Amino acid sequence: MIKALIIDDEANNREKLRNLIVKNCPNIEVIGEENGVRTGISAIRNKNPDLVFLDIRMGDGTGFDLLNRFDTIDFKVIFVTAYEEFALKAFRCSAVDYLLKPVDPDELVEAVKKVSVLLSQEHNKQLTILSDSIQSGRLKKIALRDSDNIHLINVSDIIYCDSEGSYVRFVVLNENDIIISKLLKEYEELLSDSDFFRVHKSHLINLAHAKRFEKADGGFVVMSDESRIPVASRKREQLLEIFGRL
């Protein structure tokens, strides 16, 4: 089941779209409706939808304003609007599809099919990685999904991760940084058996990429890319003990 949000500032439009979805798209569960940019942003962050049906012109801004508030868009977007002139800009924002009001049921079904295919492809990639990891007894690869791609990364190539709020940045060997809309705690748990150690509330390091510990300014770990990662005072003794065993 695909979890979807409807964001439109007109209650009548939201009701019409919900009814069309219920009638024509049995694989869609509408988990909420919002009436603007501000409430839409909050709902997306709290409900983590797979898909957002997004109006363009709303009372407190545009659908583009809403998307610009997310560093990483980890949900699919179908724009639903009366304004055809925004179509090109919508697709530049990586929208899956663009529906004109009044929404045609057949076009809605086709748009939802596109979303289903994309989500299925992503899910299959993640299952393959999980299966390989289970068979080997150790996590070898990790799937990191940002707004445009699913990055299949060798765990051994991750140098460190750091967080800011609900986003995690992965610093990876010979790759551009990858920013994911998740909590660092989730990756701390996932990578706990892969020689990763959380040295600070905002930093998770791959011990295999640690070069040295510097005592200055409370303590830093220097990584293979020469980044200096701060070590929390309560983590220092445990980290030095781990270094002593390596």
pLDDT per residue of the chain (246 residues) written in tens, 0 to 9: 999 999 999 999 999 999 999 999 999 999 999 999 999 999 999 998 999 999 999 999 999 899 888 877 888 999 998 877 666 566 555 678 889 899 999 999 999 998 888 887 765 665 555 555 545 555 677 878 776 677 888 889 999 999 987 889 999 998 899 998 888 988 888 887 778 999 999 999 999 999 999 888 778 999 999 999 999 988 888 888 888 765
Q: Is 138 helix (H, G, I), strand (E, B) or coil?
A: coil
Based on C-alpha coordinates, what's the Rg of the chain? 22
Q: Are 2-123 and 139-245 in the same CATH fold?
A: no
Give the whole-angstrom CA distance, residue 218 versus residue 228.
Answer: 12
Distances (CA, A) of 104 to 17, 28, 231: 10, 17, 57
Q: Is the pTM of this model over 0.75?
A: no
Domain residue spans of the chain: 2-123, 139-245
178: left (phi over 0), alpha (psi -120 to 50) or beta: beta
- Six-digit token string for 113: 């099919």
Length of the chain in terms of residues written: 246
A 10 A CB-CB count for 30 gives 19
The CATH architecture to which 139-245 belongs is Beta Barrel (2.40)
Q: Is 11 helix (H, G, I), strand (E, B) or coil?
A: helix
Contacts of 128 (CB under 8 A, 6+ apart): none
Around 15, how many Cα atoms within 13 Å sit in the side-chain half-sphere?
3
- Residue 66's nearest CA partner among 45, 87, 97, 81 is 45
User: Under CATH, to which class is 2-123 assigned?
Assistant: alpha beta
